[in-house]
Amino acid sequence: MKNQATKLFGLLVLLTVSTFPASATSDEVVNVYSARHYDTDMALYEEFTRQTGIAVNLIEGGSDALIERIRNEGEFSPADMLITVDAGRLWRAGENDIFQTIESDVLNQRVPQNLRDPEGLWFGLSKRVRVIAFNKAAGLPVAVNRYEDLANPALIGSVCMRSSSNIYNLSLMSSIIEAQGEKAAEAWARGVVGNFARTPQGNDTAQLRAVASGECGITVANTYYVGRLIGSDDPKNNAITNALTIVFPNQSDRGAHVNISGAGVTRYAPNKENAIRFLEYLTSDFAQRLFAEGNNEYPIVGPTSGPVASLGPFEEDSINSAVLGQRQAEAVRVFDRAGWQ
């Protein structure tokens, strides 16, 4: 995987025309706290330094741990930027006064309005779509075209899911509450729980494997995980996706649920201008292409490429990503009342 990322990075550098003048001195830095742990992100950092002369100092960790660390460090924090996955976590960081408002014409032009904080605290950098996957050979007893269809009693004993505490499921539930209201969302959750084939467990890849093996009939998973299996060199991983039919839900109404990776400049950033410059760079054509081709994500701007492109086009839910955090507490309550462990 690392060798593939290195080769891809080298190819993209050759194809990229720098739009960031390399005028920074060697002692200029940007300190990044990141909850993303991918080889391709390192390639992004290296190219930013090559273009600008600004060194990227990286500290990696879990999202919640990094948010707590920055909060505890307060005005003495060395962090210039926090990068994390899921709009719900970005919202949590904003609620903890981790970020400062950023005014940037580049970011406002490059990042769609629904994929950034309304107050300019954080900005989406890449997208992941929560799709439905079912066993191709076994098929389904009823048509499933919407998330709501997962509650159909005809699917009893067929549905595999992650825990309700998982941030991806919390964000999906938040989007359903926004679209249909809390009462309808709870009825949906109860219906899905009634259709469980097993107690919620494992990550998205585990759900896909269970459906491919026939242990379950249907699940939901982020396209990042699907793309990773498609692009794998391991035939066993390819066999999983070959056994699945992937459905982009709700194409006839609100569109498929989209979540993001994103970042914001920290409240006490000691290198604020460098951080803004780095954040703008992450929305460049080069960075967006590497997010897609190197890490199986959808770009926030520009054409889709890489393994996920094979899944085809889709319509996406256009609600503002901040809603996924604002509705999070309601989502927790709905899951609890529905008995979704």
Is the pTM higher than 0.85? The answer reads yes
pLDDT in tens, 126-171: 999 999 999 999 999 999 999 999 999 999 999 999 999 999 999 9
Is residue 20 domain-shared with residue 79, that is, in the same domain?
yes
Confidence of residue 328 (pLDDT cuts 50, 70, 90): very high
Give the chain's length: 341
Domain count, the chain: 2
Is residue 119 domain-shared with residue 199, that is, in the same domain?
no
Whether residue 19 has pLDDT greater than 50: no
| 29-34 and 123-135 strand pairing | unpaired
Is residue 120 domain-shared with residue 155, that is, in the same domain?
no
C-beta of residue 109 within 8 angstroms of C-beta of residue 300:
no
Is residue 327 domain-shared with residue 179, that is, in the same domain?
yes
Whether residue 213 has pLDDT greater than 90: yes
Is residue 53 domain-shared with residue 148, that is, in the same domain?
no
Is residue 234 domain-shared with residue 296, that is, in the same domain?
no
Structure tokens at 198: 């097993």
Domain housing 13: 2-127+259-305
Pseudo-torsion of CA 63, 279, 170, 242, nearest 10°?
A: -100
pLDDT in tens, 191-207: 999 999 999 999 999 99
pLDDT in tens, 238-275: 999 999 999 999 999 999 999 999 999 999 999 999 99
What does the alpha-carbon distance between residue 337 and residue 205 come to, in Å, rounded to a whole number? 27
Is residue 157 domain-shared with residue 277, that is, in the same domain?
no
CA atoms within 13 A on the CB side of 191: 15
